[in-house]
Amino acid sequence: MVVPNASGRIIAEALLDNGGGDLFDYKFFCFGGDPRLIQFDAQRFSGHRRELFTPDWRRINTYRLIYPPVGRDVPRPDNLAEMLDCARRLSRGFVFVRVDLYSVSGRTIFGEVTWYPEGGWGRFEPIDAEHALGAALRLPSRTA
């Protein structure tokens, strides 16, 4: 992506190339520095698909988001431990944040952090999933 900025300079990001294959998104839902849920996104520009996993890479079939499932086995990334460590470090000190990472040729690449996934409007189904994630949220106490 090339973007002109106010100073007249051009900023260019390196292309994330996964050998011509799909570039997968790994989105870590972190509560107080603890990754509790991994959202895996595939085919972002050609029929977006999504799966949810625990941090030890077990598929969560009871939670659903608005996108259809991948429909095939999703292999555990070789660098999952490194990605989890990165998500822990980046989310430390925050009540909640989602840390987005990529795995490109075995390397962990930072995507972004967001405090309001899907603009705060994303919903999990069934409602029990919403409650389970909400229970992980530990808000600081107010002092008068």
CATH of the domain at 99: 3.30.470
- As a whole number, mean pLDDT of residues 102-129 equals 87
The pLDDT score that the predictor gives to residue 124 is 79
Domain assignment of residue 2, yes or no:
no
pTM of the entire predicted model: 0.85
**How many separate domains does the chain show?**
1
- What is the rounded distance in angstroms from the CA atom of residue 42 to the CA atom of residue 85? 22
Lowest mean per-residue pLDDT among 25-29, 83-87, 109-113, 124-128: 124-128
Which pair of tokens denotes residue 38? 């991994």
What distances in angstroms separate CA 125 from CA 52, 115, 132, 138, one per listed residue? 12, 20, 11, 22
The pLDDT score that the predictor gives to residue 5 is 59
Domain range enclosing 105 = 19-136
Q: Report whether pLDDT(90) > 90.
A: yes
